[in-house]
Amino acid sequence: MDAPTTYFEHGTAAERWERAQLFFDAKEYATAARILDALASEAPEQLAPRLLLARSYYHSAQLSRAERELRAILERWPVEDYAQLMLGRTLERSGRAAEARPYLRMAAAMAGEFPE
């Protein structure tokens, strides 16, 4: 038997996107992620829902999911500097600072921040 659906899983993609943003802004990150997961699956070519999904995972401490989503984003959009930064922060938060460094350096370089 299928799990019961809730109201926030209904509506057009635009309505669900708006709803996900409201949940994210209200710091209901796990709920936002649940909505965004379906949106990202429906339109994998759109960057914004995928980035907000990764942020939702990060803020709800679903770090392995955040990492997986960010790596998928960077595979498709390798010059997405915010995804580089987020992946670095996610890896740091996971206790993998050495693995995070190249992503953080790349994000800084893309933002024009060069060491003196």
Q: Report the C-alpha dihedral over residues 62, 95, 75, 33, rounded to 10 degrees.
A: 10
Per-residue pLDDT of the chain (116 residues; tens, 9 = 90+): 344 456 667 788 899 999 999 999 999 999 999 999 999 999 989 999 999 999 999 999 999 999 999 999 999 999 999 999 999 999 999 999 999 999 999 999 998 876 65
Residues 6+ apart with CB under 8 A from 32: 20, 21, 23, 24, 52, 56
- Can you give the pTM of this predicted structure? 0.88
In this predicted structure, what is the pLDDT of residue 7?
66
Q: Using an 8 Å Cβ cutoff, are 65 and 53 in contact?
A: no
